[in-house]
């Protein structure tokens, strides 16, 4: 009986503590991400960045690079980043909200980036944007629940296509629609 009480106490203590990076891993901050996006030619502040999932690296200050930028919602863009040294972290996706001071109604345009061209929407529909075995972020929506989940793609997929993905531990599989490079959506 005492062992069970200790287990429950430990569980509640773990649930009440703030999230920490896995042992031997360092959290990548929105400040580091804003700096990398700035190096690519797009000035943003850390407060404009939303992480879709916790992002960690082997070192506390990895060099980051912007892989692509695309439209997300009416007032934000999706930015895909990775560590310059691919051994330090997995590629990841963030969203960047338009600045409160920007009244132009425009979200920054990917063609301003030196690092990657911005293909037209028509070309993206026919292009494989997620590959089997690659890491991605799955946005699960249902009622009043919105979950961001790190997943592994089990199939190649084009934008608009439905593919199978699995959780990191591969104990659950989901059918998800490919929204963009590294980003998928599904409903609960």
Q: Is the pLDDT of residue 64 over 50?
A: yes
Pairing of β 135-142 and β 183-187: parallel
Domain definitions of the chain by residue range: 20-118, 125-188
Q: Is the pLDDT of residue 92 over 60?
A: yes
Average pLDDT, the chain: 75
CB-based contacts of 33-37 (< 8 A; 24+ apart in sequence)? 33/64, 33/79, 33/81, 33/94, 35/64, 36/63, 36/64, 36/65, 36/66, 36/81, 37/66, 37/79, 37/81, 37/96
Within a 13 Å sphere around the CA of 183, how many CA atoms are in the beta-carbon half? 21
Query: pLDDT, tens digit, for every residue of 22-43?
Result: 567 889 999 999 999 888 888 8
Residues 29 and 45: beta-carbon distance below 8 Å: no
Query: pLDDT, tens digit, for every residue of 117-146?
Result: 444 444 445 678 888 888 889 988 888 888
CATH of 125-188 among 2.30.30.760, 3.40.50.300, 2.60.40.10, 2.40.30.10: 2.30.30.760
Confidence at residue 165, expressed as pLDDT on a 0 to 100 scale: 92
Residues 106 and 156: beta-carbon distance below 8 Å: no
Q: Is the pLDDT of residue 5 over 70?
A: no
* pLDDT bucket at 162, cuts 50 / 70 / 90: very high
Q: Is the pLDDT of residue 114 over 50?
A: no
């Amino acid at each position: 009986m005492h062992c069970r009480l200790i287990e429950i106490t430990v569980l509640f203590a773990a649930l009440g503590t703030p999230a920490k990076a896995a042992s031997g891993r360092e959290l990548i901050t929105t400040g580091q991400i804003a700096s990398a996006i700035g190096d690519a030619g797009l000035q943003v502040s850390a407060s404009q960045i939303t992480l879709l999932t916790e992002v960690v690296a082997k070192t506390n200050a990895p060099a980051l690079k912007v892989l692509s930028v695309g439209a997300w919602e009416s007032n934000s863009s999706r930015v895909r980043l990775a560590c310059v040294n691919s051994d330090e972290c997995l590629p990841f996706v963030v969203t960047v909200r338009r600045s409160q001071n920007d009244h132009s109604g425009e979200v920054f345009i990917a063609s301003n980036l030196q690092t990657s061209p911005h293909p037209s929407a028509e070309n993206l529909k026919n292009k494989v944007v997620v590959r089997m075995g690659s890491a991605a972020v799955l946005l699960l929506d249902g009622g009043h629940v919105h979950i961001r989940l790190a997943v592994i793609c089990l199939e190649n997929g084009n934008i608009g296509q439905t593919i199978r993905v699995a959780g990191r531990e591969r104990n659950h599989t989901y059918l998800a629609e490919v929204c963009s490079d590294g980003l998928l959506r599904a409903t609960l």
